[in-house]
Structure 1
Amino acid sequence: MNIIPGLLQHSSRKWLVSLALDVFEYSYTLSLISGKRKMVILYCLMGYQPVRFNELKRYLGKISDKTLPQNLKELEGDELVRRKVYPQIPPKVKHSLPNQNRQ
């Protein structure tokens, strides 16, 4: 179908812009959660209360010592995960989803 853009009706242009924005939002969301483990990390944090690093590692099962902190840092940077550090010795850090109650 060969349509000259100037001939598109106003409602058709609105629909195309809306579709383009939907595709952009979908692509952006996928880029934030892409990766082998990010969805699993988010799912674990959704199912449990705020958890410490080693608890999260146990919940996830087989995950390398490099992959989990790297994915957590990326998710924190994208504001999908909250990291709370408690000022005590030994250090205590808990991870949670931003909308969960803080503990």
Structure 2
Amino acid sequence: MAVRKLEKSEWESYFDEWDKKYREGQVPKRDVKIELVNEDLGDQIETWWQELIGLDYDPKNDIFEIAAERHDHLIRKPTEIYVDEENGDIKNLEVIQWDGTKHIISFKTK
């Protein structure tokens, strides 16, 4: 596995391409867990293992979205995105929001 920081200029195309492969079944279906880490609030689990619907970055509104079966998680004004990849597939994500909150997105293949 290799963790790398994505440049902001590649966010939209990276997640559009990955999302297309996901919808077409080129990468395995998976469940998602979303954890928030913030100095003031501590660690909080926001979503426990729900089926992932998709990932998207909207540059116009500067929002990163994780769509799950029963939850739509929006990260406004992300400043950094790190991907943990293996064989061209995403294993984990870490998105840092403008206020320093870390959103840790873990995946579990079905």
| Structure-1-length-normalised TM-score | 0.25
The structure with the greater share of residues assigned to helix is 1
- Which one scores higher on RCO, CA 8 angstroms, separation ≥ 6? 2
| Structure-2-length-normalised TM-score | 0.24
Find the structure with the greater CA-based Rg: 1
The structure with the greater share of residues assigned to strand is 2
